[in-house]
Each structure stands twice: as structure tokens, then as C-alpha cells.
């Protein structure tokens, strides 16, 4: 089992709808969880981080963490074409952060 | 308030040459991480350094690759005798401590002819 798993996509979502991105992780000891956005040819940019079970909201973004199920998700409300990018889920393990391969999100105008 | 600075942005080398990639962390950050990203792939952890110390190099290839973070100056990722398979984007990230979020530089795109 891979340490951090994401569906590679592409995930196509109509403009204005809610995009839901999912991630599972294998290390029960992980305590920090991150979502990065990466545009093609660019560097990853931190979108959200979450440490506690439950939801964390920031503008149009909501991160959800369920440690019992080892599951973390990112919801993007009112999706915009500028949200089209690859979203990387990342989880800490010991002294480093392990990244998933990312989910490509395509917002349909 | 400069972010993480990487240079060069693009580097072209011929097979057998050496590649040196530099990374200056954000001000106040003493933890540096190097990652490699192949096209259509995720970020692969390579090495984690603090000033003058390699903390975790479990992601580094056993040969030809080395990294340092001297007391003065940037962190350096060095690839000796480059091969075509070394072509990738190399990203550096820094953080103020191991549990805090990492901030990424713009990366160095390495191309091997």
C-alpha cells in the first residue's frame, strides 16, 4: 500500500459546482496533513493544512480530516476555471512530508 | 520578505557532467528539503537538512547524488556524472521547524542532453 494515495484524475467539475478531492494515508501516526496546489510547470503552493479531526474552512476551501478512517479531503466551493490545477495531498511521517501523486482537477467553463 | 530562492531556474548538462543546484531558504528557516518531480509524477522526497547536518537522506540515490547545507550560504544539491534519467524538476522547500508547513521555491528544471 502506498503511503499517500490519490486518484490521479482528471476530475472534471462544472464551473460553480463543488470539487471534492480525496486522499488516504497509511501511517496512523501522522499528525499533520497538507493540501498543495500545483499549476503546470510551477512550484507547489500551500492551500490548506489541518491537524485535528473535523473540518477547517478558509474561504472557498474546506479541508476535512478523519483520522480513524485515515482519510483527508479538500472541498472547493464555487469552482472557478483558475482552480484547474493538480492538487497534492501531503502527510507528515517522522521528520519529513510524503506527497501523493496528485489529482488533476479541470473546471469546465 | 523573499521566499525560497532556487537557481538556476533551468540547467542544461551533457551526460557525464556535473550539475549543481542551489537553494536559499526563507529568512528564519533552518530546515531545508529537496524533492524531485518527474513529468506527471508526484514529488519524491530526497533529503532533509539543517544547518551543517544531513538529517534524513533516505530518498537520495546511493551514488552520484549529494547534498549540503553549510553554515554560510545556500544549500547545494550536487549530481555527478549526470545521466538522461536525471532530467527532472528539482524543488527545494524550507520551514522554520520540522512540524511546520514547507514553502517551496520555483524549482530548477534540469535537462540532460
Distance from B49 to chain A by nearest Cα, in Å? 10
Distance from the A77 Cα atom to the nearest Cα atom in chain B, whole angstroms: 24
Distances in Å between the Cα of B48 and the Cα atoms of A93, A100, B35, B59 are 13, 18, 9, 9
What is the per-residue pLDDT across A12-64, written as a single tens digit (0 to 9) for each? 999 999 999 999 999 888 889 999 999 988 999 999 999 999 999 999 999 99
Higher pLDDT, A94 or B89: B89
How far is B32 from B111, CA to CA, in rounded Å?
Answer: 23
What's the rounded Cα separation, in Å, for the pair A75 and B5? 31
Please indicate whether, in this complex, the C-beta atoms of B99 and A101 are within 8 angstroms of each other: no
Best residue in A27, A97, A99, A103 for a mutation probing chain B (most B CBs within 10 Å): A97
Which positions in chain B touch A42 (Cβ < 8 Å)?
106
Instruction: Please say if the pLDDT value at position A2 is more than 90.
Output: no
Give yes or no for residue A1 having a pLDDT over 70.
no
CA gyration radius for chain A? 13
- Starting at the edge strand found earlier in the chain, the sheet holding A4-5 runs A4-5, A19-25, A71-76, A61-66, A54-58
pLDDT on residue A29: 86
| pLDDT at residue B1, rounded to an integer | 52
Q: Which chain B residue is nearest to residue A88, measuring alpha carbons?
A: B42
Do A44 and B105 count as a contact with CB atoms less than 8 A apart? no
Give the B window 26-85 contacts with A, CB below 8 Å: 33, 35, 41-45, 48, 55-56
Residues B25-78: pLDDT tens digits? Answer: 999 899 999 999 987 778 899 999 998 899 999 999 989 999 999 988 999 999
B99 falls in which pLDDT band (50, 70, 90)?
low
Amino acid at each position: 500500500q502506498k503511503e499517500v494515495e490519490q486518484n490521479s484524475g482528471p476530475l472534471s467539475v462544472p464551473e460553480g459546482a463543488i470539487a471534492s478531492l480525496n486522499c488516504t494515508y497509511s501511517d496512523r501516526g501522522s499528525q499533520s496533513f497538507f493540501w498543495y496546489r500545483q499549476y503546470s510547470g510551477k512550484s507547489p503552493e500551500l492551500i490548506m493544512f489541518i491537524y485535528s479531526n473535523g473540518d477547517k474552512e478558509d474561504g472557498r476551501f474546506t479541508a476535512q480530516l478523519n483520522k480513524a478512517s485515515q482519510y483527508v479531503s479538500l472541498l472547493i466551493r464555487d469552482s472557478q476555471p483558475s482552480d484547474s490545477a493538480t492538487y497534492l495531498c501531503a502527510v507528515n511521517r517522522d521528520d519529513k512530508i510524503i506527497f501523493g501523486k496528485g489529482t488533476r482537477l479541470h473546471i469546465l467553463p | 520578505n523573499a521566499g525560497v530562492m532556487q537557481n538556476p531556474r533551468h540547467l542544461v548538462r551533457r551526460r557525464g557532467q556535473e550539475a549543481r543546484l542551489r537553494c536559499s531558504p526563507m529568512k528564519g528557516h533552518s530546515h531545508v528539503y529537496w524533492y524531485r518531480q518527474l513529468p506527471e509524477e508526484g514529488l519524491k522526497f530526497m533529503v532533509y537538512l539543517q544547518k551543517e547536518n544531513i538529517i534524513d537522506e533516505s530518498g537520495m540515490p546511493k551514488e552520484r547524488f549529494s547534498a549540503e547545507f553549510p553554515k554560510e550560504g545556500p544549500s547545494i544539491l550536487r549530481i555527478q556524472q549526470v545521466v538522461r534519467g536525471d532530467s527532472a524538476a528539482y524543488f527545494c522547500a524550507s520551514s522554520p521547524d520540522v512540524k511546520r508547513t514547507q514553502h517551496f521555491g520555483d524549482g530548477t528544471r534540469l535537462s540532460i542532453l
